[in-house]
Structure 1
Amino acid sequence: MPAPRESELREVELREYETRVVEGIRLGPADRALCASEELARRLKVRELAGGRLEVTAGPCVGVVRFDACEIRILPKYLGGELDVLRMLEYAAGRGLPPLDAPRTVREGAPHLRDLVALLLTEECERLLSRGVRQDYVTVEEDLPAVRGRLLADRQLLRHYGRLDRLACRFDEHDTDILDNRLCGAAIDLAARTARSASVRARARRAATGFARIAPTPLGDLRSALAALDHHRHNSHYRSAHRWAALLLSGGGVADLLAPGPLASRAFLVDMNVLFEAFLTRLLREAAAGTGFTVHDQTRHRGVLYDERTERPYGEIRPDVLVSGSVDGERLCRPVDLKYKLYDNGKLSPADLYQAFLYAHALARQPSAGLPTCVLLHPGGASRTRESIAVRRWDGTTSARVRSVSLHLPSVLGALGDAGRDVVLAKVWAAVLE
């Protein structure tokens, strides 16, 4: 049976953490191989049931997975839409989202997250091509009729002994076939072949043709290419293009780049746990600017858990954020735990409370003999009241406190892009330090 065309693909929508059973879908061999891959299984669970039914369980990921007979689209649970995910990505990276008129550009309906990334990549690549792509010196080894650069004596003896019309040379040449352009070329070629939107594919194909001409050498291993990539004043205008290119080529994984590992080109899933942590860390750093406080992320503390028998550290604890500074000359240290969970319909989970209380007991320092406090930041409704939970000893005294602070992410994202930026930063900072 021939594979269905793009327009005939059945679209299955669900939210993060949701489970759906879909009727009338059978997986092909390539689909089963994709479902069995460790990279996808960490983000999306797909189980075949009897009678041609499919059980799909989404984790804390947003994006799209394409099978032969259907396309699974996972929408954000705590945000307004997939464009908000891109805003979080760009804010976490220290940049603002460039203007994007997706409804006008993508005419086939609401674009999914992968097509939005492909569209942003296409716009950046078009901008680079219009202003002229970067050239740099690359080392070339070639047999020439006259000496250019350095004569390779050993190669000349082995390959052209006694000949003077073919000289083995090594020289530097100013060329566009460099890593900056190869990364863009590989990503825009992928967008041109795999974007679901016909209008995005058409634009990407035109840009891909341009990059194929100026950078024909294959990119090779993505991780090696990203490790070798270096941004400086000569290629700083490539930053946005490289970010969208890396995101698309890695299948939405953002570890190093925000990613646990590359996915097949048919899957594009952004881990919202990782993104939420990166977004909130940047938000707290920006809120702390000018206050005299320092925001540390993922600091390691090996001396907290201690093995009394061996007199060695038993392990390490690593809070998401540690805020340190002084108030009226007294030291303040406030651990902050970031949880991408919605607690609006229930209490804080015991496991999250135990972890936060450990941070409060071991790492928090409060001026004026106040209670050691850990703040737990999580998504939530704008009307949710803040919770404050304390540990009470057998004698009735309290030893530590955990304060739960919910953030209405759509409101925060909206305020960060307009005049309300300073207000929302001040509110978040006050909630952490109160």
Structure 2
Amino acid sequence: MTVVELVEYAPALTRALPDEIGRALAASRIVDAAPDPYLPGQWRLRAGSKVGALVLQAPGQGPFVLRITPKVPIARLFFLIGYALNPAVHREGEVDVTEQAEVLPALAHAYERALERALRQGVLQGYRHTEEAAFVVRGRIREADQIRRHHGRVMPVEVAYDEYTTDIPENRLLRAAADRLLRLPRVPGDVRRRLRHHQARMTDVEPLVRGHELPTWRPSRLNSRYQPALRLAETVLRGSSVDHLPGKIAVDGFLLDMNKIFEDFVCVALREALAPYGGHCTLQARSVHLDEENAVRMRPDIVRYGDDGRPLAVADAKYKAEKPEGFPDADLYQMLAYCTALGLPEGHLIYAKGNAPHAAHRVRRAGITLRQHALDLDRSPTELLSSVRDLAERIARGSHI
């Protein structure tokens, strides 16, 4: 077994790889992979924003394991994820993860602990509406469907009824996340055993079909004890799974995108921090257009509106400054477009510290100032949230850097 360990956005490493594995990685764009021009059989590998683990295997060859570690500590990573899912998680300590060196073992451990707490008082039951063709009449007969589908036959009968069952969306999500983790490599053996135990308690719950939309659930008093586990289950199920690569390469693994994690955290944390200043914030605003005909749609991460509906501020979260070839300042151009469309005198770009500096740029002949801020993810959760509150005060009061 060959193991290669990378760190997100760290300098490239040169490693010996079978050509099939190298080409598969290059095509996947999970990492930047290219043959070394001077060393035959060697490939240059550089990780981007994806963190996690992959196992790849070409026919007739041993497994190749790729591990990508985030720059931030694993516990901090899970704080960012948990806070974005529910700001109360920081205050209540609902995301519990031991200090681990890898993403997947930590995620599996955190989910198993949350699942154990959710099921401690028993598997939740609820009413599920069912419409089916049955040989026993229960509930209400759907007369129109009976006539249309069975043309006068007595059996089967089209019925509709509400059944009190454990096969409800909440349990489907919890079981699906356990099923997903049990299929992945690098899940510790003790965690795997406990997950199988929890899985056995939900044998009456219908498994989810891969590729289908996740079932929806609504927070309520009845499912309050389930909610921390449900939020982690959605993280497990919505994480980037890798099921297929070009050629005959078998692949399994789990990846998280640091770009998305940082963006989600900043949006939620800034919304919470701006709440005391009045107005309201819209995340991923869909009603912003660049042109007067509303043909060119834009989606700023955060737009703060006053009580009268007037835009007051705009911000975008960028884990790493985007510098596409030929456009090294693409983030600034994008924010300038937001400010112009919203009629605002300034806009705010929020980066992770080390990926962009604090700066302010006043645009020529436009009267618009573009401000760049940096959040230090190496700070403790309390200090990090304090930094977000300071940033919110600057945005709300229009103060300068």
| TM-score of Structure 1 vs Structure 2, range by shorter chain | 0.7 to 0.9
Q: Cα deviation per residue 1:65-104 (whole Å; 9 max; x = unaligned)?
A: 2223232222223x3x22222111111112415253525x
Give yes or no for contact 1:137–1:173 (8 Å, CA) kept in 2: yes
Paired AA for residue 282 in structure 1: V
Q: Cα deviation per residue 1:4-51 (whole Å; 9 max; x = unaligned)?
A: 5xxxx624222236432222x33768x976874xxx53x434456674
Unaligned runs of 5+ in 2: 58-62, 244-250
- The structural deviation recorded for 1:156 is 12
Residue 54 of structure 2 aligns to a residue whose secondary structure is strand
Residue 96 of structure 2 aligns to a residue whose secondary structure is coil
Match of 2:103 in 1: 113
Paired AA for residue 86 in structure 1: F
Residue 277 of structure 2 aligns to a residue whose secondary structure is coil
Residue 121 of structure 1 aligns to a residue whose secondary structure is helix
Question: Which one of the candidate residues 328, 339, 345 is aligned to 2:318?
Answer: 339
Question: Which one of the candidate residues 283, 290, 302 is aligned to 2:269?
Answer: 283
Q: Cα deviation per residue 1:316-357 (whole Å; 9 max; x = unaligned)?
A: 33322223449xx9x8723223221269xxxx9422222223
1:31-430 counterparts in 2 under 5 A? 36=27, 40-41=28-29, 43-47=30-34, 51-68=40-57, 69-77=63-71, 79=72, 81-95=73-87, 96=89, 97-98=93-94, 100=96, 102-103=98-99, 110-138=100-128, 139=130, 143=135, 149=139, 172-196=162-186, 197-211=188-202, 213-215=203-205, 217-221=206-210, 223-226=212-215, 228-250=216-238, 252-253=239-240, 262-264=241-243, 266-300=252-286, 304-305=290-291, 312-313=293-294, 315-325=296-306, 333-341=312-320, 349-365=328-344, 372-380=345-353, 386-393=358-365, 399-411=367-379, 413-415=381-383, 421=385, 423-430=386-393
Output the TM-score relative to the length of structure 1: 0.71
Query: Cα–Cα, structure 1 residues 70 and 391, in superposed 2: closer, same or farther, change >3 Å?
Result: same
Q: Hey, what's the Cα distance between the residues in 1 that align with 2:25 and 2:328?
A: 33
Q: Hey, what's the Cα distance between the residues in 2 that align with 1:387 and 1:415?
A: 21
- The structural deviation recorded for 1:279 is 1.1
Query: Cα–Cα, structure 1 residues 304 and 246, in superposed 2: closer, same or farther, change >3 Å?
Result: closer
Paired AA for residue 190 in structure 1: R
Residue 411 of structure 1 aligns to a residue whose secondary structure is coil
Q: Indicate the RMSD between aligned Cα atoms, in angstroms.
A: 3.8
Q: Cα deviation per residue 1:363-388 (whole Å; 9 max; x = unaligned)?
A: 344xxxxxx22222111159x97322
Q: Hey, what's the Cα distance between the residues in 2 that align with 1:363 and 1:318?
A: 12
Larger-Rg structure = 1
Match of 2:246 in 1: none
- The structural deviation recorded for 1:56 is 2.6
Output the TM-score relative to the length of structure 2: 0.76
Residue 410 of structure 1 aligns to a residue whose secondary structure is coil
Paired AA for residue 182 in structure 2: A
Give yes or no for contact 1:121–1:245 (8 Å, CA) kept in 2: yes
Paired AA for residue 428 in structure 1: L
Query: Cα–Cα, structure 1 residues 93 and 169, in superposed 2: closer, same or farther, change >3 Å?
Result: closer
Query: Cα–Cα, structure 1 residues 34 and 246, in superposed 2: closer, same or farther, change >3 Å?
Result: farther
Paired AA for residue 220 in structure 1: V
Q: Hey, what's the Cα distance between the residues in 1 that align with 2:25 and 2:152?
A: 51
Q: Hey, what's the Cα distance between the residues in 2 that align with 1:60 and 1:273?
A: 6
Give yes or no for contact 1:295–1:323 (8 Å, CA) kept in 2: yes
Q: Hey, what's the Cα distance between the residues in 2 that align with 1:412 and 1:268?
A: 26
Paired AA for residue 86 in structure 2: G
Paired AA for residue 89 in structure 1: I
Q: Hey, what's the Cα distance between the residues in 1 that align with 2:224 and 2:192?
A: 27
Give yes or no for contact 2:281–2:302 (8 Å, CA) kept in 1: yes
Q: Cα deviation per residue 1:242-301 (whole Å; 9 max; x = unaligned)?
A: 222232233x14xxxxxxxx5338232222222222211112111112212432333346
Give yes or no for contact 2:55–2:65 (8 Å, CA) kept in 1: yes
Query: Cα–Cα, structure 1 residues 21 and 151, in superposed 2: closer, same or farther, change >3 Å?
Result: same
Q: Hey, what's the Cα distance between the residues in 1 that align with 2:196 and 2:19?
A: 30
Query: Cα–Cα, structure 1 residues 231 and 313, in superposed 2: closer, same or farther, change >3 Å?
Result: closer
Q: Hey, what's the Cα distance between the residues in 2 that align with 1:235 and 1:27?
A: 50
Q: Hey, what's the Cα distance between the residues in 2 that align with 1:48 and 1:157?
A: 69
- The structural deviation recorded for 1:189 is 2.5
Paired AA for residue 136 in structure 1: G
Paired AA for residue 400 in structure 1: I
Paired AA for residue 203 in structure 1: R
Query: Cα–Cα, structure 1 residues 184 and 314, in superposed 2: closer, same or farther, change >3 Å?
Result: closer
Query: Cα–Cα, structure 1 residues 249 and 335, in superposed 2: closer, same or farther, change >3 Å?
Result: closer
Give yes or no for contact 1:143–1:169 (8 Å, CA) kept in 2: no
Unaligned runs of 5+ in 1: 104-109, 162-166, 254-261, 307-311, 366-371
Give yes or no for contact 2:76–2:381 (8 Å, CA) kept in 1: yes
Query: Cα–Cα, structure 1 residues 214 and 123, in superposed 2: closer, same or farther, change >3 Å?
Result: farther
- The structural deviation recorded for 1:427 is 1.4
Query: Cα–Cα, structure 1 residues 159 and 124, in superposed 2: closer, same or farther, change >3 Å?
Result: farther
Give yes or no for contact 2:75–2:97 (8 Å, CA) kept in 1: no
Paired AA for residue 394 in structure 2: A
